[in-house]
Structure 1
Amino acid sequence: MTEEKKLQNFLAKLDKVKKKGPDQWQARCPAHEDKVESLSVSRGDNKINFHCHAGCSGKDILRAMGLNWSDIYFDDEPGKKKKSKVVKEYIYRDENGRPLHKTLRTANKDFLQKRYENGKWKWGLKGVRTVLYKLEEVKEAINNNDVVYLVEGEKDADNLHKIGLTGTCNPLGAGKWKPGYTETLKGARVVILPDNDKPGKKHARNIAKELHGKAKLVKILELPGLDKKEDVSDWLDKGGTKEKLLQLVKDCPEWKPGINNWPDPLPFNNFDVKPIPVNILPNWLSDFAINLAEFTQTPIDMSIMLIISALGTALANKGVVQIRKGYTEPLNIWTCTVLPAGNRKSPVFKKIMKPILDYEERKREEIEPERRHALKEKSILEDQLKQKEKIAGNAKDQAKRKQIMQEIFNLDDEIQEMEIPTLPRLVASDVTTEKLAKLMEDNNGRIAILSPEGDIFKLMAGRYSKNGAANFDNYKKAWTGGEPIRDDRMARKGTYVKNPALTQGLTVQPVILEDLKEKKAFKGEGILGRFLYAIPESPVGSRKVGNEVPELSDIAVMRYQKGLSALLHTRPAGENKNGEWEPHIIKLSPEALEVRYEFERDIEKELGPEGKLHNIADWGSKLVGNITRVAGLLHIAGQTDAQKGQATRDIWNKPIGPETMKKAVKLGYSLIEHALKVYDLLDTDPEIELARYVLKRIMRGKEMEKAEELPKDKDTLDKSILMELCKGKKEIKRPDDLKEPLKLLAELNYITIVERETEGRGRNPSPLIKLNPKVHSINSIKKDTEYNKSNKSNKSNITPEIKKDENGVIIEGMI
């Protein structure tokens, strides 16, 4: 069986597998009742590595999976490493030249370790004193005030020796520096020559921090002309000489500790979220979006998403996009833009929704007289009914009473069968799921929830329900379309909506979505997967002010309002005998269909175990359908003469072309990173959450030191003290539980870990944890959705490139 097939077979036997990085996965452990994906899996050199953070043994895990140890090895001989010839030995000796340990380099560039014990070489370094390479020469250089060159490998040290310089390194390579090596270099003049890669440079900085104040001089010299991962040996092979190196050392400044010598902490999750391309919209919509974003100094993503929801509000239930026979997508759409408070969501909402509310008001005014007359007629009939009931109650003659009762029955039937015109509604906000169904029944099966807040999530979660339970059925049916809503609890006749169509356009604060983490039903029921999300960078703190802000173009506003009004006035294909709308069928051209199929193939790959969308499959599996809806909306909007406020005669008959489909697909690709970032709010990785917790406790420890509640040490925190600070955290019961979160924090440059050795026999002291001084407040470790308020240009946050006319009025946005 191939290596890849063995790995895939292994992963296929696990539940809730999530890809965490190159050749790394997280899954639920099969050996215990796991609810937090505590099993780590990775591809090793010769086998599949796996570890349960809850403490389950490898034997129990394999037994639960129905596997043997042989099933995790890639070699034909399981459990045995591939043999490779040793091509070089590097012996480490003490101050007197006695061998202590050695490194063996094999032909396939593996590095093995042996120790010298009782006159024999034995595998491993257990119990042996480890020292710097060429320790005798290092001691002599220190005594002679010569420079000691610290490199990453023994080969580099040997090559420096060949040109008459003292080179040394620590055993086991980058990241394995020990305090004992620092003691050796007390009073030395040290030049560190790092390998040209991140681990090498990080190793150099860490050593410099350790040597500062102990060595006489410390310099870090990054050699010029090195390609990625090259070292001083490569530099010498390229023509470097002793004289050139000495000159470079002379010109290199002394290393001094400070905040700039620490790398920037990396985000726990890094998403490449870019502004949504505004040129997906027809010109009359993109012009308005750009003008509005500049005028309000808000991210253009918000304007684009709300405009798409406005199109859905205008066109819902009037048409469907036919992909193939028996499969159509409706034109209602759900969008959600995520922005912190203070981003002027309400002003943007008002401008975009104004034509819809104006249209609704005009329609209500048209219906109001007819409704008023019908209500008056009903009132008169009800008065007549009451009078006849009194007469029937006083009637003595049985025949007379029977006649009056028949008149009462007829009058009551007439009242009940009266059709009272309802006042048209296009938009709702704070309504229950039952009321939502009634609104759709009264408005040709459609309604829109358009809100600059996130209250609808609370309603869906059961805010007004009697038992407080979530009720998603009506919402799901109203997104999908084609599945009737029946509710016999509403009114005497009950509620029936043959073809419900709900549009949503929301802007919410990140905290609203974070609150949904505890409400698993939202994701389990697929509600969250139905939204298209935008989570743009907040421009707050870098917005234009005063005269810098351009005026809102009257022309752009007029064209938008007239264009959307024209779409609001379009009609469905017809009505059936019950007065229910029958939608137009919008077809895709063969070329557009191929564009869609190509997008669908790409998304299907991304939904696989190795793909970006694997962990948000509930969203990704609906993306192609959502983008098809967007294509339908853009297609109809693109055939509208916004200047005249008219839609073309054959607006519904023309098929969607490939260019429109490509624009919709472009939006789909753009929104993937936005969705990944949003889902990070909703489905936090437990390992990342634990690392964040530990970082906060480290920072708490430093705060307690300042308050003299802990022993003061301006640079470090003892791991044993951190263990005390983490008391009560159920995931941290023993020191080993800190290993993984500390490892992650070190990889992301939040801390460095300094191992310590005891002198003589006994257990090594607890490691020291150094906190990156750039992590200066809790704000540094908030989720990436707390938005960077740095000195980035607000132009890129609000609109990309813009065009203006000769009068300086913004007329078009380009990506």
Structure 2
Amino acid sequence: MKFGLDDAIASGLTRANLEALVVDTMPGAEPDWPEPIPLDDPAGPDFPLDALPGTLGSFARAVATSTQTPPGMAAVMALGTISAAVRGRYIVAIPEHDWSEPVLIQAVVFALPGERKTAVVKEITAPLSLWEREQQITDATQIQEWTSKGRVLQKQLDAAENTASKGREPGAQGKSPEELDQIRQAATLELAKHDNGIKHPTRIVADDVTPEKAKQMIVEQGGALAIISAEGTFFAILAGRYSESPSLEIMLNGHAGEPITVDRKTGPALYTPRGCLTIAVACQPHVAETMGSVDGFQARGGAARILPAFVASAVGNRSIEAAGISADLRQAWDATIRAILNHNPVRPTDSAGFPTPARLVLDAGAYMAFQRYRAWHEPQLRRGGELGDLVDWGSKLPGAILRKAGLLHIATHDRPEDHPITADTIERAISIGGWFAAHARIMYRVMGGRSGQSAARQVLD
């Protein structure tokens, strides 16, 4: 016997009855909804400050206490400051697997307005700023000497060209035309060599530069630059603020330490075989959402390179009696960063005469600890694994751990290349890596799903 829609209505069933009947009779009637995205502002677990050794850990803790900010903000900015001070001069190498990682990070702290981001960034990076200004004072004299010598060489070249042009007849100026031309060529070569040795004012930190300017500065500064800021302006520029499309290459290539070439309108192109870009930025969470909407940011690996930190808000719970940073501890932090900046490790040159990075290696215990971690890590990338929803980011996590181990090692040794990285350092880096993984999960969620949450919050309210 057939029982159609008309019959159901005639029997007294309402629309609600019919809809319930349909849902109840469908296979798997209970909807399998994904875990809802919280509408509150995102925040991850607290940073494991005990993983930071010596002065690094003590200073990060003191800055967090003094500014009454979450420890993760100071900790991440401190790691970024060490990365900036390293200036691309080291790699962590595992020769057993032909594997090396440049000792640099690209990290972003996400915090709401009013969380004292500027105060933390200024305090943590003060040694970089002071050292940079001191170097620029010395640079000014060297640049003046270079400029003066250039004027002399240019006059010599002008005179040689003038003499050569007037001495085309045999015997003119007491020299043959061939001899005059050789003098002109020698003067040209001398000036070119001088121009190639140009001295630029020392810059290790920038903030809102364009990608093109960042590339130029990396080459001019010997292969490294750091973007450090309490604003997200650099990411807005990468997203295409001044161009018709995103410009991600400097971020992607700078993370790997790849070659950089800068073509100039006049003169030969500028080049470095290894261009390193550190990023240590503190900005508002909406920047993550904006970057998630940038064409190619995730697909090309931009998100996978970022070490994110979504710190909890401290507003409303801050003490007005917080202790300041002791002079001794501030001096110790300054000395730590200066030691890294001033130390020039022995660096063999490549076939073109460019210095190669100094190598940091693992001792036997560190290698075993790292291999144990890798054995655990790989299965976690499978579907359902701990990193199964972060495959692109998670795939780079072992390399990121080596980079962080390098930073911790450099921060605790005057001559880091003379000492192997220990198992203790690797374990500390693994702990920090796990913390970043928890925050990376938040970053991907924010990049992919926060649009419209303000309206949703209003509906719930």
TM-score, normalised with respect to structure 1 = 0.48
Cα pair 1:454 1:512 within 8 Å, conserved: yes
Q: How does 1:603-682 map to 2 (within 5 A)?
A: 603-639=377-413, 647=414, 651-682=416-447
Deviates more, 1:484-493 or 1:288-297: 484-493
239, 248, 259: which one aligns with 1:484: 259
Per-residue Cα deviation, 1:450-482 (whole angstroms, up to 9, x for no partner): 1111121123234444xx22233333222112x
Q: Percent identity?
A: 27
Q: How does 1:327-476 map to 2 (within 5 A)?
A: 327-386=99-158, 395=166, 398=169, 400=172, 407-418=183-194, 419-465=197-243, 468-476=244-252
Q: Distance in 2 between matches of 1:498 and 1:609?
A: 38
Q: How many angstroms does 1:560 deviate by?
A: 0.7
Q: Distance in 2 between matches of 1:385 and 1:569?
A: 38
Q: How many angstroms does 1:596 deviate by?
A: 2.1
**Residue 275 (structure 1) aligns with:** 46
* Secondary structure of the structure 1 residue equivalent to 2:93: strand
**Residue 559 (structure 1) aligns with:** 332
Q: Distance in 1 between matches of 2:398 and 2:154?
A: 54
* Secondary structure of the structure 1 residue equivalent to 2:345: coil
Q: How many angstroms does 1:408 deviate by?
A: 4.5
**Residue 297 (structure 2) aligns with:** 522
Q: Distance in 1 between matches of 2:287 and 2:408?
A: 30
1:695–1:272 distance in 2 versus 1, CA, 3 Å: closer
Per-residue Cα deviation, 1:166-212 (whole angstroms, up to 9, x for no partner): xxxxxx9xxx9xxxxxxxxxxxxxxxxxxxxxxxxxxxxxxxxxxxx
**Residue 549 (structure 1) aligns with:** 322
Q: In terms of Rg, which structure is larger?
A: 1
Q: How many angstroms does 1:278 deviate by?
A: 0.7
**Equivalent position amino acid for 1:522 in 2:** F
Q: Distance in 2 between matches of 1:661 and 1:677?
A: 25
Q: How does 1:583-594 map to 2 (within 5 A)?
A: 583-594=357-368
* Secondary structure of the structure 1 residue equivalent to 2:344: coil
Higher helix share: 2
Residue 77 (structure 2) pairs with residue 298 (structure 1):
no
* Secondary structure of the structure 2 residue equivalent to 1:350: helix
Cα pair 1:573 1:582 within 8 Å, conserved: no
Q: Distance in 2 between matches of 1:506 and 1:665?
A: 22
Cα pair 2:87 2:204 within 8 Å, conserved: no
Q: Distance in 2 between matches of 1:535 and 1:491?
A: 45
Q: How many angstroms does 1:305 deviate by?
A: 0.3
Q: Distance in 1 between matches of 2:42 and 2:113?
A: 21
* Secondary structure of the structure 2 residue equivalent to 1:317: coil
1:297–1:591 distance in 2 versus 1, CA, 3 Å: same
1:489–1:503 distance in 2 versus 1, CA, 3 Å: same
Q: Distance in 2 between matches of 1:378 and 1:584?
A: 33
**Equivalent position amino acid for 2:343 in 1:** T
* Secondary structure of the structure 2 residue equivalent to 1:520: coil
1:656–1:406 distance in 2 versus 1, CA, 3 Å: closer
Q: Distance in 1 between matches of 2:292 and 2:388?
A: 19
Q: Distance in 2 between matches of 1:464 and 1:312?
A: 28
Q: Distance in 2 between matches of 1:348 and 1:595?
A: 33
* Secondary structure of the structure 1 residue equivalent to 2:418: coil
1:457–1:623 distance in 2 versus 1, CA, 3 Å: same
* Secondary structure of the structure 1 residue equivalent to 2:449: coil
1:409–1:633 distance in 2 versus 1, CA, 3 Å: same
Q: How many angstroms does 1:307 deviate by?
A: 0.6
1:128–1:691 distance in 2 versus 1, CA, 3 Å: farther
Q: Distance in 1 between matches of 2:212 and 2:11?
A: 73
Q: How does 1:82-231 map to 2 (within 5 A)?
A: none
Q: Distance in 2 between matches of 1:270 and 1:431?
A: 29
Cα pair 2:246 2:294 within 8 Å, conserved: no
Residue 86 (structure 2) pairs with residue 310 (structure 1):
no
Q: How many angstroms does 1:562 deviate by?
A: 0.9
Q: Distance in 2 between matches of 1:691 and 1:128?
A: 41
Q: How does 1:74-85 map to 2 (within 5 A)?
A: none
* Secondary structure of the structure 2 residue equivalent to 1:615: coil
1:415–1:344 distance in 2 versus 1, CA, 3 Å: same
Aligned length: 429
Per-residue Cα deviation, 1:633-672 (whole angstroms, up to 9, x for no partner): 1122223xxxxxxx1x5x3232222211111111111122
The higher relative CO (CA closer than 8 Å, separation ≥ 6) is in 2
Deviates more, 1:451-460 or 1:427-436: 427-436
Q: Distance in 1 between matches of 2:130 and 2:208?
A: 20
Residue 298 (structure 2) pairs with residue 532 (structure 1):
no
Q: How many angstroms does 1:388 deviate by?
A: 6.1
Cα pair 2:107 2:281 within 8 Å, conserved: yes
Cα pair 2:42 2:312 within 8 Å, conserved: no
Q: Distance in 2 between matches of 1:351 and 1:695?
A: 36
Q: Distance in 2 between matches of 1:524 and 1:590?
A: 37
435, 449, 458: which one aligns with 1:684: 449
Residue 341 (structure 2) pairs with residue 568 (structure 1):
yes
Cα pair 1:280 1:664 within 8 Å, conserved: yes
Q: Distance in 2 between matches of 1:317 and 1:448?
A: 10
Cα pair 1:430 1:455 within 8 Å, conserved: yes
Q: How many angstroms does 1:384 deviate by?
A: 4.7
Deviates more, 1:334-343 or 1:565-574: 565-574
Cα pair 1:429 1:456 within 8 Å, conserved: yes
Higher strand share: 1
* Secondary structure of the structure 2 residue equivalent to 1:633: helix
Per-residue Cα deviation, 1:87-141 (whole angstroms, up to 9, x for no partner): xxxxxxxxxxxxxxxxxxxxxxxxxxxxxx9xxxxxx9x96889xxxxxxxxxxx
Q: Distance in 1 between matches of 2:235 and 2:286?
A: 12
1:388–1:593 distance in 2 versus 1, CA, 3 Å: closer
* Secondary structure of the structure 2 residue equivalent to 1:635: helix
**Residue 33 (structure 2) aligns with:** none
